Amino acid sequence: MPDGIRTIIKRNGEVVPFDRDKITVAIYKAAAAIGGHDRDLSERLSGQVVEALEATYTEDASPTVEEIQDVVERVLIKNGHARTAKSYILYRSGRARMRAQRSSEEVEYLPYKQMWQALDWAVEQGCHTVEGLNEIILSGRLGELIEASDERFESMIDGAAAAILERHEELRFIVVAGPSSSGKTTTTHKLMHRLEAEGVHVIPLALDNYFFDLELHPRDEFGDYDFETPEALDLKLINQHLEELDRGRAIDVPVYDFKSGKRTSETTRFEASAETLILLDTLHGLYGGLTESVPDEHKFRVYIETIAQLKNTNGRYIRWTDIRLLRRMIRDSKFRAYSPERTILHWHFVRRSELKHIIPHQSQADYQVNSSLAYELPFLERHLAEHLEPFLEKWQDNEKRLDGYLRARRISELMNSIADVSAGDEAKVPATSLLREFIGGGAYDIH
Low pLDDT (below 70) residues in the chain: 1-4, 11-14, 57-61, 91-109, 217-226, 446-447
Cα distances (angstroms) measured from residue 408 to each of 126, 341, 345, 378, 401:
28, 9, 10, 17, 11
Mapped onto helix, strand or coil, the DSSP state of residue 365 is: coil
Do 14 and 86 fall into the same domain? Answer: yes
Show which of 85, 103, 121 is a domain's final residue: 103
Do 218 and 262 fall into the same domain? Answer: yes
Rounded Cα–Cα distance for residues 364 and 177 (Å): 11
Rounded Cα–Cα distance for residues 300 and 328 (Å): 26
Count: domains in the chain: 2
pTM: 0.75
Do 160 and 66 fall into the same domain? Answer: no
* Any domain includes 227: yes
- Tens of pLDDT along 73-124? 888 888 888 777 777 777 666 655 555 554 433 334 678 889 999 999 999 9
Question: What CATH number does residue 408 fall under?
Answer: 3.40.50.300
Show which of 38, 72, 103 is a domain's final residue: 103
Do 225 and 334 fall into the same domain? Answer: yes
**How much is the pLDDT for 269?**
96
User: Running DSSP on this structure, what letter comes out for residue 177?
Assistant: E
DSSP code string of 227-279: --SGGGB-HHHHHHHHHHHHTT--EEEEEEETTTTEEEEEEEEE---TT-EEE
Do 183 and 157 fall into the same domain? Answer: yes
Rounded Cα–Cα distance for residues 302 and 209 (Å): 21
Rounded Cα–Cα distance for residues 360 and 146 (Å): 31
Do 92 and 160 fall into the same domain? Answer: no
Do 119 and 38 fall into the same domain? Answer: no
Look at residues 177, 142, 161 and name the one whose alpha carbon lies nearest to residue 361.
177
Kind of pairing between the strands at 173-177 and 277-281:
parallel
Q: What angle do CA 305, 309, 315 make, to 5 degrees?
A: 140
- HSE, CB side, 13 Å, CA atoms: give it for residue 85: 14
Tell how far CA 43 is from the center of its chain. 27
* Any domain includes 444: no
Q: Which domain holds residue 351?
A: 112-439
Show which of 63, 86, 103 is a domain's final residue: 103
**How much is the pLDDT for 103?**
41
**How much is the pLDDT for 78?**
84
Rounded Cα–Cα distance for residues 258 and 392 (Å): 30
Look at residues 30, 32, 74 and name the one whose alpha carbon lies nearest to residue 51.
74
Which residues lie across from 15 on neighbouring strands?
A: 9
**Backbone region of residue 218 per phi and psi (left: phi > 0; alpha: psi in -120 to 50; beta: other values):** beta
Mapped onto helix, strand or coil, the DSSP state of residue 128 is: coil
